Each structure stands twice: as C-alpha cells, then as structure tokens.
A and B are shown apart, each in its own frame.
Chain A
Amino acid sequence: DTAVSQTPKYLVTQMGNDKSIKCEQNLGHDTMYWYKQDSKKFLKIMFSYNNKELIINETVPNRFSPKSPDKAHLNLHINSLELGDSAVYFCASSQDRTARETQYFGPGTRLLVL
C-alpha cells in the first residue's frame, strides 16, 4: 500500500499550458504539504493544508493554486506554465500540524516545461 501517492509521475508540457498534479494519502493524517525541489535539489515548502484549511502559503506566484477537497487529498493546479516551473514537486503529509511530527513524502512529480 502506497502511503502518499502522486499522479502523474512525469509531466512534460508546453509553456503557457495549465496542468494539475494530484496527491492522495491513506495514512489518516490531518496535514498535507506541497514542496518544490529545483534542479539543484533544493527543497522549499509551497503550501500546507490542515483538515482542508490552508495554513501555510509561502511566496508562490498566483499561478499556483492548491485545492484540498478532503483531508486525504491535496491537488496543485498551475496556470500559464513557465520554463522556471520545471522542477520536481513533492506532496507530503503528517499526523497533525505540530513541529515534532514526521512528514511522509510522496514519490514526486517531475514537471518539465518546454
């Protein structure tokens, strides 16, 4: 059983297109996250939701819009894709929002914008 799953695993698209990445966790966790890993492997948080409520919104362009239909799912929609959006996007989840909780990561979605 995959704890945190993401679809698609790979995404190749043209500049200007709109795309979505889906994330699901079957761990019963309350909190979910989106991280971006750039070409130098640097990881940075983008968003976090707790029980469908947005609780972290880092400095991310408005073209990125997360949506959490329920606490097991967190999707990421990206409008008007740009070359600089090429990266690996990781979804993660944790039991709750407290600092000591372990975050469990999905396998990543490798986005390439041409």
Chain B
Amino acid sequence: AQSVTQLGSHVSVSEGALVLLRCNYSSSVPPYLFWYVQYPNQGLQLLLKYTTGATLVKGINGFEAEFKKSETSFHLTKPSAHMSDAAEYFCAVSESVRSQGAQKLVFGQGTRLTINP
C-alpha cells in the first residue's frame, strides 16, 4: 500500500516569505500526486497535480511543486506568502485498487500553514 508523509504538521512563515511544504511518498509504481488546500470549514480544493510529463507543476494561487522520483518527494512551494494562504494543505497519492479497477486518494496527515503579518 502506498503512503504519504508530510513533514511538519504546522508551518509558520512571515508574509512575503517563501513557503515550503514537504511531502514524501512511497510507491512501487509511477505515482499520480496531488496537493489539495482546505480553508477553515470548507471542502478540499485542488492546488495542482502531477500525472506525467514535466516534473515542475504549476498550480493555482502561485503555488508550484516539483516531482523528484529519486527523492520520492513532491514538495509544494510559493515564492511569497500571502495572508490568504493560511489554510491546511494535504498531499495525496492516487492508489489503484486493482481488484476493483478503481482508484483512491491516500492522504498525508496535513500541514497547517500560518502566515505572520
């Protein structure tokens, strides 16, 4: 079974500073990787995803992530944090349920991002 580890359950940065949220995965096959954001009392919204092709993926709100197969990582970055970026961020890998020809998302434990003024 695949797993996802997000290093740091809480990350705090100053407004305008670099945001770096770490995600490592375990997968025996080429993975499909996702980052979702959850604002307070809301559902999850897709930030970006990696399926195939270019390993640097650009998403919404200025976020990007780089798939590094050798490091089994998919870290999320944003050059300059904004107050509106404060939220919970989830990294996920898509896992096939072969017996049922289906797929499910396996999530990391989440990282709460706080932005200091």
Chain A residues in the interface with B (C-beta under 8 A)? 4, 31, 33, 35, 40-45, 48, 50, 55-56, 58, 90, 92, 97-108
Contact B97 A55 (CB under 8 A): yes
The closest CB in chain A to the CB of B51 belongs to: A100
State whether A56 and B43 are in contact (beta carbons under 8 Å apart), knowing that A40-B109, A42-B110, A43-B90 are contacts in the complex.
Answer: no
Decide if A56 touches B32 in the complex (CB within 8 Å).
no
A41 near B110 with CB under 8 A, answer yes
Tell me, in angstroms, the Cα distance from A84 to B101 when the chains sit together. 31
Query: Which residues, 20 to 46 on B, are CB-close (under 8 Å) to A?
Result: 32, 34, 36, 38, 41-46
**CB of B102 within 8 Å of the partner chain:** yes
Min CB gap B28→A, angstroms: 14
Cα–Cα, bound, A104→B44 (Å): 8
- Which among A42, A55, A107 is the interface contact of B101 at CB below 8 angstroms? A55
In the complex, B12 has a CB within 8 A of chain A: no
Partner among A42, A50, A98, A103 whose Cβ is within 8 Å of the Cβ of B109:
A42
Q: Bound complex: CA of A56 vs CA of B45, how far in Å?
A: 22
Instruction: Name the one of A45, A98, A106 contacting B105, with C-beta atoms under 8 angstroms.
Output: A45
A74 CB to closest chain B CB, in angstroms? Answer: 14
Residues of A within 8 A of B116 (CB): none
Known A48-B102, A56-B102: A41·B49 in contact at CB below 8 Å: no
B77 CB–A CB distance under 8 Å: no
Smallest beta-carbon distance A97→chain B, Å: 5
A75 to B21, CA, bound (A): 34
Chain B residues with CB below 8 A from A58, complex form: 104
Which residues of A have CB within 8 Å of B67? none
B contact residues around A101 at 8 Å (CB): 103
